[in-house]
Amino acid sequence: MDVNWQRARRLMPLGVRFAQVRQVHGKAIDTIGPRAAAEPRPEGDGLVTATPGVVLCIFTADCVPVLLADKDRGVIGALHAGWRGTLAGIAGAGVRAMVRQGAEASAISALLGPSIGPCCFEVDDELARRFGRRFDRAHAHVHPSDHAGKAYLDLRGVIADQLALAGLRPAEIRKVGPCTKCESNRYFSRRAAGGSVTGLQLSFVGRFAT
């Protein structure tokens, strides 16, 4: 991550500021304003801005990178959504933070990037039930496993429903890229690495003046 950050900073003379948070698997959202320092941000798992010249960066290795944009109003967001953040409701928190910056929920487009898929994201039954108790439609994204006490969870499916509940149009919520564990020859995956530390994918969205 530090190497990627140093490479990003080389573009600073071009008038581009890169922003990130110290990701902790929660739902805290940091708002980047005109005077925000172009340095790593405090702890959190999401960023929003309406300031031109800012690129919001999220790092993942199985978790879901969520990129959001209301292009008409110039408000953008980037979220790091693992199961903890998804269960905590980071998708809705991100949309609400964008609305506070002037976005309209129904005008926001969302991209859900490469992440572990329902084919590979096996969790304990109790965790799957927690999702079902917290979100009405979560049961539609839980699938049985052949292993006792386990189930498969579709994180991107849950997040897409959360975004729709927050006011996004379903047609503007797109899933991009394969399962990171299945495609671990192309993407970093903690699950594929057996929980070992791996590299990270960088996902980003920028806000530029026209």
Mean pLDDT, rounded, of the chain = 90
Q: How confident is the model at residue 42 (pLDDT cuts 50, 70, 90)?
A: confident
CA–CA distance, 20 with 30 (Å, rounded to integer): 9
Given the DSSP bridges, would you call strands 173-175 and 109-112 parallel, antiparallel or unpaired?
parallel
Q: Give the pair of three-digit tokens for residue 173.
A: 């919520």
Q: Is the pLDDT of residue 37 over 70?
A: no
Task: Label the pairing between strands 109-112 and 64-70.
Answer: antiparallel
Q: Does 174 score more than 60 pLDDT?
A: yes
* 38 has pLDDT over 60: no
Distance, in Å, from the CA atom of 205 to the CA atom of 18, rounded to the nearest integer, reads 10
Statement: the pTM of the whole predicted model exceeds 0.85: yes
Q: What is the pLDDT of residues 99-158, one digit of tens each?
A: 999 999 999 999 999 999 999 999 999 999 999 999 988 899 999 999 999 999 999 999
> Other CB atoms closer than 10 Å to residue 196's CB: what's the count?
7
Quick one: average pLDDT of 173-182?
97
Count, residues in the chain:
210
Of the ranges 37-51, 63-77, 114-128, which one carries the lowest mean pLDDT score?
Answer: 37-51
Q: Which domains does the chain have, with CATH numbers?
A: 2-116+155-207 (3.60.140.10)
Q: What's the pLDDT at 208? A: 78
Mean pLDDT of 183-205: 92
